[in-house]
Amino acid sequence: MTSVLLVGCGKMGGALLAGWRKSQAASRFVVVEPTAAAVAHLKGAADVTIVDALQDAPADFQPDAIVMAVKPQSMAEVAPPYAGLAGTAVTLSIAAGTPIAFFEAAFGPSAAIVRAMPNTPAAIGRGMSVLCANAAATADQRALSQTLMQAAGAVDWIEDESLMDAVTALSGSGPAYVFHLIEAMTAAGVALGLTPELAAKSAMETVAGAGALAREAPEDPGTLRKNVTSPGGTTAAALGVLMAPDGLTALMTKAMTAARDRGRELAKG
Ligand SMILES: NC(=O)c1ccc[n+]([C@@H]2O[C@H](COP(=O)([O-])OP(=O)(O)OC[C@H]3O[C@@H](n4cnc5c(N)ncnc54)[C@H](OP(=O)(O)O)[C@@H]3O)[C@@H](O)[C@H]2O)c1
**Residue 266 has what pLDDT?**
84
Q: Does 132 lie in the same domain as 64? A: yes
Residues 200 and 80 both lie in one domain? no
What average pLDDT does the segment 124-152 reach? 96
pLDDT at 253 over 80: yes
95 CB near ligand 1 (under 6 Å) = yes
Give yes or no for residue 133 CB within 6 A of ligand 1: no
How far does the centroid of ligand 1 lie from the alpha carbon of residue 123, in Å? 13
268 pLDDT above the threshold of 90: no
Are residues 152 and 54 located together in one domain of the fold? yes
Among 176, 142, 163, which Cα is nearest to 263's?
163
**177, 255 Cβ separation under 8 angstroms:** yes
Q: Residues 77-101: pLDDT tens digits?
A: 999 999 999 999 999 999 999 999 9
- Average per-residue pLDDT in the chain? 96
Residues 6+ apart with CB under 8 A from 129: 94, 116, 117, 118, 119, 122, 149, 152, 153, 154, 155, 156, 171
Does any ligand 1 atom lie closer than 6 A to the CB of residue 35? yes
Contact (Cβ atoms closer than 8 angstroms) between residue 25 and residue 64: no
How far is Cα of residue 26 from the mean position of the Cα atoms in its chain?
20
> If you measure from the C-alpha of residue 94 to the centroid of ligand 1, how many angstroms do you get, rounded to a whole number?
9
Q: Which of 121, 144, 163 is the last residue of a domain?
A: 163
Whether residue 148 is found in the same domain as residue 119: yes
Q: Is residue 67 lining ligand 1, measured as CB closer than 6 Å?
A: no
Q: Which of 49, 114, 57 is nearest to 84 (CA)?
A: 57
- Domain boundary residue, one of 130, 163, 196: 163
Number of domains the chain is built from: 2
**pLDDT above 80 for 269:** no
Please state the rounded mean pLDDT for residues 34-39: 94
Using a 6 Å cutoff on CB, does residue 12 contact ligand 1?
A: yes
Residue 253 lies in domain: 172-268
Residues 26 and 113 in one domain: yes
User: Taking a C-beta distance cutoff of 8 angstroms, is the pair 142, 115 a contact?
Assistant: no
- What is the spatial distance between Cα 165 and Cα 223, in angstroms, rounded to a whole number? 30
Same domain (yes/no): 259, 198: yes
Helix (H, G, I), strand (E, B) or coil at 43: coil
> Per this entry, what is the length of the chain?
269
Residues 81, 12 within the same domain:
yes
Same domain, 131 and 19: yes
Q: Does the pLDDT at position 66 exceed 80? A: yes
User: Ligand 1 centroid vs 12 CA: distance in angstroms?
Assistant: 7
User: CA-based diameter of the chain, in Å?
Assistant: 72
Quick one: 185 and 156 in the same domain? no
Considering the domain architecture, whether residues 119 and 25 belong to the same structural domain is answered as: yes
What CATH number does residue 146 fall under? 3.40.50.720
Q: What percent of the chain has pLDDT over 70?
A: 100
Is 183 in the same domain as 140?
A: no
Same domain, 158 and 182: no
Higher-confidence residue of 269 and 231: namely: 231
Query: DSSP per residue over 88-116, as a string?
Result: TSEEEE--TT--HHHHHHHH-TTSEEEEE
Domain-terminating residue out of 99, 129, 163: 163
Look up the CATH number of the domain holding residue 247: 1.10.3730.10
User: Can you give the pLDDT at residue 267?
Assistant: 80
